[in-house]
Amino acid sequence: MEIKVGDIDEDKYSRLRLYEWFDLNKVLRARILVVGAGALGNEVCKNLVLNGYKNITIVDMDRVVKSNLNRCIFFNDEDAERKRYKAEVIAEKLKMFDKKLNINYYTEEIEKLDIITKHDIVLGCVDNVKARLHINAHCYHNKIPYIDGATHGQVGKVQVVLPPHTSCLECGMNVTHSKILQLRFSCTGKDTKFFEPKIAADVNTTSIIAAIQVQEALKLTHGMSNYIKNIFYYDGARNFADVFELPINPNCPNHEKE
């Protein structure tokens, strides 16, 4: 076969193919669910598409507001003025990257949808404990990999939950988390019983955590064993990053029958 100079630059995924382990067909077939379409969700969706993922479902019940615009690549002033749904906007604008994408979106709470089992990997980009535990429990029960991301100012973490091999989110839950869950803290404005003060946020931390999430998704898609088996922790203020151990909690309801 004749290869012409410059041919490699005509292949959209040529630089990814330089990795010996990268298999575009595996990426193209993978069905990815992204829960949360805020700052993390924006970055995660962008990275997924740029890495070749085509089958993506986005879930978020929130609408775009002005304060989203400094850390959400897909939102603009018009979206905020029209109060458009975040999931709808991202689904629409991802088409700018690739018109052949198979994108679905839902503007409801993940707890009200029966879609988790229709996907191969779930990436969590949510900001409340209730949604996290719902995703975690359903993924673990159905043996679906779950990659949870979270940020708090310049601090962020990524946890990969791969049933039945790793600990899960509930393994690390404490009394404080339980109290917050009972208070139903939410930033959605719907059925809010507890107000959580806003905290500082920046796109730099968000970008780092989202990049780690998608990097781990690629590892799982390819069946690699070097995924994060505990919790990746990042602190931008202290220039610090490490992986902390989170052993399986035998009293965790997701593990007690194992």
Contact assessment for residue 119 and residue 106, using Cβ atoms and an 8 Å cutoff = no
Contact assessment for residue 140 and residue 163, using Cβ atoms and an 8 Å cutoff = yes
249 is written with which tokens? 């909690």
CA distance 126 to 89: 17
Which H or E run contains 132? Answer: helix 129-141
Please report which residue ranges of 36-85 form alpha helices under DSSP H.
Answer: 39-50, 77-81
How, if at all, do strands 155-161 and 231-235 pair?
Answer: antiparallel
For residue 118, what are the contacts with CB-CB under 8 A and spacing of at least 6? 31, 33, 57
CA distance 212 to 243: 12
Confirm whether 72 is a catalytic residue: no
Q: Of 45, 168, 171, 187, which is the active-site residue?
A: 187
CA distance 216 to 160: 8
* DSSP 8-state code for residue 3: -
CA proximity to 211, closest of 74, 97, 44, 73? 44
For residue 159, what are the contacts with CB-CB under 8 A and spacing of at least 6? 147, 148, 169, 228, 230, 231, 232, 246
Which residues are known to be catalytic?
Answer: 187
